Amino acid sequence: MKKGKKLVFGLLSIVLVALSACSNPQTEGQGTAPVKDNKNEKVELRATWSGTAGRHERTLKVIELFEKKYPNIKINAEYSGTDGFSDKLNTQIAGGNAPDLINVGGITDLVARGAALDITPYVTNKEINLDKFDPALLEPGKDNGKFYGISLGTNGIGLFYNADLIKKAGMEPPKDTLSWEEYEAYGKEVVKALGPGYYAFADQSRYSLYMNYFLRQTGKTIYKDGKAGFDKADVVRWYTMWDRMRSEGLLPTPEESATFTDLSVDTSIFPKGKTVFLMSWLNQLTAFQNGMKDELQITTLPSGGPGAKNGLWVHPSQFWTINKTSKHPKEAAMFINFFINDEEATKVLGSERGIPNSSAVRDMMKQTLNPTEKKFYAYFENYISKAGPKDQDLPNGTEFGNAVVSSSQKVYFKKATIDQAAQEVVDAFEKSVKK
């Protein structure tokens, strides 16, 4: 835990920064035949990622820059929104036709399935140059001391709010110390002032990410040392809180909630201007602000109340990995190196995937922050002074997350009781661990 705090204070230097990039590379992947150093050899790679339209635009621009620098390498992009991305990727991996380059939020599942290439040789030879990266931020990309992924940024979670709606309601912005119960009371006042058709919160009962934050406030977690760090009663408390707010008219209707997801601006109900609060990854602040006309602000997620623990954590995320079956691992490593180190590429990428883990990139970008990014970084400075270390990743975590979505939807459509839905979550956890 001391190491986590060391990371926290080390990250304070991140606060006036933004972006990520790269340079050149070359090496042979473990278990692959040596690749000839022939710059004229035509090579095609497939690269996949998920996210918003803004992320797609930035990533495609970096691909264009890379192809200009390395005209013999062609990158075929495969991208989509977050919904269904993991399922499609899992199907491709099972079928042996996954892309060469894979950008995901965490590497645990890919490593467990034997789908990720050990890229340690490329790191050792500096063909993927990590000299300017904080060593602590590189650890989540390792398994048993070997590199399988490179994190593109550091992230966290926060509460976005529509400042214009709060002004319209004639209320003051919420204090950053409010508990879940106090936010519920605040939400009632907002909805009463705004009138029909407005909601206090997006219904985010279905996301295991925020359920885990809720658990951490009581000293628990979803997964720890191969076992569940929670029990059925914890899930009942989580679903009961949201069900109460739903019955009070603070959340969108079940039909609306089923139509929209809140993982990105492209699929969220929040930018429609009818919902006041949304929990989100911090790096999505710019995307959401660009996607809505109202002024967006950010504050701390609800606290657990007096005596509760701080549920926040520092989250290295968005890893580039190389498919273990790629026929061109050397060129794939070249792309990763370009993505994280090239000056022009990092200017394009900004902080959309999180605050860059490279100190060189952060130093370069600190004078170029736009007004929304300045809000992000100012908030993050305070955030990392409070946040703890990230939890262990749950094996087959995607499947577990899907099960939480399914069980929560049964609750708000009244197709299952809260007790039944909570049991489904517990059963889904056991299935994920045993797989």
Residues in the chain: 435
* 11-25, 55-69, 167-181: least confident range: 11-25
Identify the pLDDT of residue 265: 84
- Residue 277: phi, psi to the nearest 5? -120, 150
Tens digits of residue pLDDT in 107-145: 988 998 999 999 999 999 999 999 999 888 898 899 999
Two tokens at 26? 């070359």
What is the value of pTM for the model shown?
0.78
Identify the pLDDT of residue 18: 36
Q: Say which amino acid occupies 218.
A: T
Same fold yes or no, 17-154+315-369 and 157-312+391-434? yes
Tens digits of residue pLDDT in 390-408: 888 888 888 899 999 999 9
Q: At what angle do helices 232-247 and 208-216 cross, to 10 degrees?
A: 110
Identify the pLDDT of residue 233: 98
For residue 425, give every residue at least 6 positions away whose Cβ sits within 8 Å of its Cβ, in sequence order, or none: 232, 235, 403, 404, 407
Tens digits of residue pLDDT in 212-238: 999 999 999 999 988 999 999 999 999
The fraction of the chain above a pLDDT of 90, given in percent, is 68
Identify the pLDDT of residue 32: 34
Question: According to the CATH classification, is domain 17-154+315-369 in 3.40.190.10?
Answer: yes
Return the domain boundaries, the chain: 17-154+315-369, 157-312+391-434
Whole-number Å distance between alpha carbons of 419 and 243 = 12
Per the prediction, the chain carries an average pLDDT of 89
Q: Which of 35-39, 362-366, 410-414 has the highest mean pLDDT?
A: 410-414
What is the domain class of 157-312+391-434 according to CATH? alpha beta
Whether residue 85 is predicted with pLDDT greater than 70 in this model: the reply is: yes
Identify the pLDDT of residue 262: 67
